[in-house]
Structure formats: C-alpha cells, structure tokens
Structure 1
Amino acid sequence: MADVVYEKNVEGHYAVFTLNRPDRLNAIGGRLMAEMLEALDDFTNDPEMRVGILTGAGRAFCAGADMREGADRDAATKALAARRDSGEISEDEYKAEVAAIAPSAPVKFDLFSPNPKPFIAAINGLAVGGGMHFVMDCDIRIASSESYLGLPEPKRGIAASYGSQYLGRMIAPGEAMFYLLTAENIPIDEAHRVGLVHEVLEPEKLMERAVEIAELIAQNAPLAVRASKAMALFQRRNDEDDLKEYSNPISAEVMASEDVVEGRRAFVEKRPPNWTS
C-alpha cells in the first residue's frame, strides 16, 4: 500500500496528496517522504496541474516523525556500534548496515512553499510536530473542527526547528512563543482566532471546501497565480539562507544530544523522560 496516495483531477486542474499511514497516524516514516518527493516531481512538471491539496487518511493529518521507527533505529544503531567496537564487524560493514536502516529519503518540511504552484492544507485531524510543519508550509490552511495542531518536539528532546523559524511570522510573536516554549497543543478554534487557519469546517465538509478553493484558484491565469505566490513569499525566501545558517548548527547540536534518544524512547515506553542536558 502506498504511503502517499497521489490523485490528479485533470478537469479541475488540481491534485490531492493523501498521507496514507493511518495505522501510524500518518507519521513521517516508511516510504512516505520518498513517495511524496516523487509525486511532487510529477505534479510540478505537469502543466495541467495548477493547485495541490494536502490531507491525511483516517483520523490524523500527520503525527510528525515516526517516533517508534526512530527509537528502533536508535537501538539498532547502538547495537551495531557495539558490534563494531568489539571487532565483530568492520567500520565499513558498520557504515553499510547503518545506511541500510536509514530513512528512504531525507526528511524535508519546506516542500510546498518553494513549489511555484499553490498548496492547500486540508487538516482532517491532529497535525503535530512535522505534521504541523507541513501545515505551515502550505499556502492556505483549512481545518476540520475535530483537528488540532501542536509542536511537541521539546517534550521529546528535539527543537521545533521549522516552527521556530516561521511560526512567529505567521501569528503574533507572543502567541508563537507560548506554543513553541510550552509545547502545548493548539486547539483548532484558537488556531483560527490567531490566523493560523483560514476556516474551520465540519469534518464532512472539509474536502468539499478544499476542492472548491482549488477550483477557484485554478480558474485564474496560472502564470499570474504563480507570480502572486512568488512575490508574496519573496521576503521569506530571501531570509531563508540566513535563517538556516543560524539555525542549522543549533538544531544539529540538539539532534546529537542524548536527549533525543531519551525523548524517543520515553515516548515509546510511555513514561516521563529523564533529561541529561
């Protein structure tokens, strides 16, 4: 079964990208990222496609990183390191086995804003961590009344890197800092109040409205739509290199800490984490 279901509506000039790991709340793992990149490549290069809609299968939009998969990978890497250090396997064998259990594609969150074509996030359920990053990276956000958002990464020993860089540009800085630092969930009515989502709808009306918005956009001149998006996002794109130059070393330091391993393991074991930093 595909981890991303990609469906094109040629008559309406839009495509629907459905995150399709419902048994894992559409967490980013398995082949989800690789399949998303493949679908985006087709979408971007198809002149008949003018608008993308991003949603999730089942009761979640996206639960962010697959913490169980990450914890299993941490444990496997630690075991391989022990075998290498004992002389059971060589350094080259260690590297090959670590590469074999690595994700199928690097995780990226800036997938939709750099795309020249507009994207609508149809938030059908919880969107937390990387799932909220995907939401923020879309151009228009509408949500089910049963959904909620959140950046819980600090509770797992991880910096909310994408959220830290962009949330304060999308809503009032004080509101952004509250959610970034407390890592509390954002109720969807609150997300609407602060302007993070455009509309909140009953669940059965969500995709109908997403398609309606996509068709409204697709009726407009494609070149003018792409130009409008590019100009609207110019400042963000212009500042991105500076943001990454500043943020990447900070994020790398956090990701190299034992807190990340402990945060994942504590989540899987359903216990409070024991931080060491």
Structure 2
Amino acid sequence: MTDDILLRSDADGIATLTMNDPGTLNALSDEMLAALSRQLSDIAASRLRAVILRAEGKAFSAGHHLGQMQRMRQAEDGGRAAFADLFDRCTAVMAQIRDLPQPVIAQVHAMATAAGCQLVATCDLAIASREARFGVNGVDVGLFCSTPMVALSRNVSRKRAFEMLSTGRFLTAEEAEQAGLINRAVPPDRLAEETRALAERVASKLPAAVRIGKGAFYAQLDRPLDAAYELTRDAIVENLMDTGTDEGMQAFLEKRPPRWT
C-alpha cells in the first residue's frame, strides 16, 4: 500500500520511499511516522535488497510536527503522556530502519533538521547534495533535541554533536561528510544518480550476506571486545553456511561471476 504522504516505487530490487508532504517540510507527523512504519514493515518481509529514502519539496525533513505537538498540550496532563507516546513511536520507526534486513540509503537534497537529522543519522548510508544542511536546532525554540542526539552522537564526535545540540549550529554538506554524518556530498544534479549507483551496488551483493552483516554490525558496536568477537564469529559462521556464500567463494576460485538466484 502506498500513502499519498509517502510514495513508494520498486525497481530492480530497490525500493524508493519518497516523503511527500512539502507543506510541512516533510515533518515527522503522526501520519508520516505511521506511513513510514507501514512501508518499512512491508519491505522487511519482501525480497527487495536495498531502500532509498528521499523527499520532495524544500526540505528533506524539518523534524517533528510542532503544530501537532502544541495541540498535545491541551490534555489534562499538559501533554506528558502524548509526548512520551510520540517519541516512542518515532523511536520505533528508527529501530525499524536499524533492524531492516535491507540497507537504507538517505538521499538528502536539502535541509534535514532535528528529528529529520536523526532520520539521516539512523539510515545505514547517506548521500547528500552540496546544498543540503544538517542541524539539531530545537534549542532555538527552547527544546533540546534529546532523542535526535542518540543517533547523531553515534555518527559524529561527542564535541561536534554537543556543539550542534547546544547552539543550534547547522553543518554544511561538506562538514557533514567530514564529521561522518553522511558518506558523500555531491553536486545537486548528480544526487539521484550517485544514490542510485550506491543502491545498485549494495543490491548486487548476496542478500543473506548483507542481512547477516547488517545485523551483526549494529549488534556488536556497543559490546565489549570479547563479546563483539563472539557475536561476529557466530554471524560469519552463519554466513558461511549459506549456499549463496558457497557459490560466491567457488566462483572466485574459478574466476567467474557468482550465479546467485
């Protein structure tokens, strides 16, 4: 199912999700979060091999929908329960991206701020136009971007992250590349081409190897060294048991392309 607020097209093993709510600068509204969750659940159960996440309009995403958040304050508790539910739902979508078997590539053409920057940081890979900007500037309206900082601080250095969070300073695309928030900054007219090329390269690999490897990559990050090696040992053994890996290694020895189905 495709939502008007989130368009989807599948081709050559790659799903392209397009956030299509330019009037809100593609805010992560209740509706957008629900649409992302539905599509990610469907993709997770599919045989697709990669995902591109892009957007229409003047921004990639401006983060949470402040209008909806202000309306939540009308509840008897001042919005406390509604706010907690909102951030739980947003966190669940970010976890879906992390847990998705397929790598997700952010194609960032313009501003990504607050939870929109969190979305970029959560994606496995990111290609951005040189015109894009990245910020966690909730502090400018009196709201420290505490939930976006989880993904941000796992991509860039602590001091860089805290400066962005405490001052509202935006990074240029070139600075974001240097900081490790994105993979590459490219000319605007090459953004779609470069993103598609990266997706096609990922999609050309054995799906089981990428699925096992992505899961192990995130699982080992915060573990002690010994535990990380134990986990990745089990992952690589599981990978070796896949018939596609057997075919890939045999093809290398025979100096021919692998015949993966």
Task: Give TM-score scaled by structure 1 length.
Answer: 0.70
How far apart, CA to CA, are the structure 2 residues paired with 1:2 and 1:31? 10
Task: Find the partner of 2:143 among 137, 158, 179.
Answer: 158
Does the 8 Å CA contact 1:144/1:206 hold for their aligned counterparts? yes
How far apart, CA to CA, are the structure 2 residues paired with 1:168 and 1:45? 30
Q: Deviations over 1:119-146 (max 9, x none)?
A: 0010111100110111011011110111
Aligned-pair distance for 1:195? 2.0
What residue number does 1:63 align with?
62
1:210 aligns with 2:209: no
- The secondary structure found in structure 2 opposite 1:110 is helix
Aligned-pair distance for 1:237? 6.8
User: Residues 168 and 33 of structure 1: is their aligned pair in 2 closer, same or farther, counting only changes over 3 Å?
Assistant: closer
How far apart, CA to CA, are the structure 1 residues paired with 2:159 and 2:183? 20
Aligned-pair distance for 1:165? 2.5
1:110 aligns with 2:112: no
User: Residues 116 and 238 of structure 1: is their aligned pair in 2 closer, same or farther, counting only changes over 3 Å?
Assistant: farther
1:51 aligns with 2:36: no
Does the 8 Å CA contact 1:64/1:130 hold for their aligned counterparts? yes
What residue number does 2:7 align with?
5
What residue number does 2:26 align with?
26
- The secondary structure found in structure 2 opposite 1:213 is helix
Aligned-pair distance for 1:152? 1.1
How far apart, CA to CA, are the structure 2 residues paired with 1:174 and 1:119? 27
User: Residues 145 and 222 of structure 1: is their aligned pair in 2 closer, same or farther, counting only changes over 3 Å?
Assistant: same
- The secondary structure found in structure 2 opposite 1:189 is helix
Q: Which amino acid aligns with 1:200?
A: A
What residue number does 1:172 align with?
157
User: Residues 31 and 237 of structure 1: is their aligned pair in 2 closer, same or farther, counting only changes over 3 Å?
Assistant: farther
- The secondary structure found in structure 1 opposite 2:195 is helix
Q: Which amino acid aligns with 1:7?
A: S
- Structure 1 unmatched runs, 5+: 83-97, 240-277
How far apart, CA to CA, are the structure 1 residues paired with 2:218 and 2:10? 26
Q: Which amino acid aligns with 2:54?
A: T
Aligned length: 214
Aligned-pair distance for 1:30? 4.8
Does the 8 Å CA contact 1:63/1:130 hold for their aligned counterparts? yes
User: Residues 121 and 176 of structure 1: is their aligned pair in 2 closer, same or farther, counting only changes over 3 Å?
Assistant: same
User: Residues 45 and 214 of structure 1: is their aligned pair in 2 closer, same or farther, counting only changes over 3 Å?
Assistant: same
User: Residues 106 and 164 of structure 1: is their aligned pair in 2 closer, same or farther, counting only changes over 3 Å?
Assistant: closer
How far apart, CA to CA, are the structure 2 residues paired with 1:34 and 1:131? 15
What residue number does 1:274 align with?
none
Q: Which amino acid aligns with 1:194?
A: A
How far apart, CA to CA, are the structure 1 residues paired with 2:106 and 2:158? 22
**Consecutive aligned runs of 4 or more in structure 1 exceeding 4 Å deviation:** 236-239
How far apart, CA to CA, are the structure 2 residues paired with 1:112 and 1:224? 18
Percent identity at matched positions?
26
Does the 8 Å CA contact 2:118/2:149 hold for their aligned counterparts? no
How far apart, CA to CA, are the structure 2 residues paired with 1:163 and 1:29? 15
- The more displaced of 25-34 and 156-165 is 156-165
How do 1:66-77 and structure 2 match up within 5 A? 66-74=65-73, 77=74
How far apart, CA to CA, are the structure 2 residues paired with 1:233 and 1:51? 17
Q: Which amino acid aligns with 2:36?
A: M
Q: Deviations over 1:40-76 (max 9, x none)?
A: 11111111x11011111112110001112322343xx
Q: Deviations over 1:77-124 (max 9, x none)?
A: 25xx49xxxxxxxxxxxxxxx99xx97x93333331121210001011
Aligned-pair distance for 1:196? 1.6
How far apart, CA to CA, are the structure 1 residues paired with 2:178 and 2:68? 35
How far apart, CA to CA, are the structure 1 residues paired with 2:219 and 2:161? 22
Does the 8 Å CA contact 2:144/2:166 hold for their aligned counterparts? no
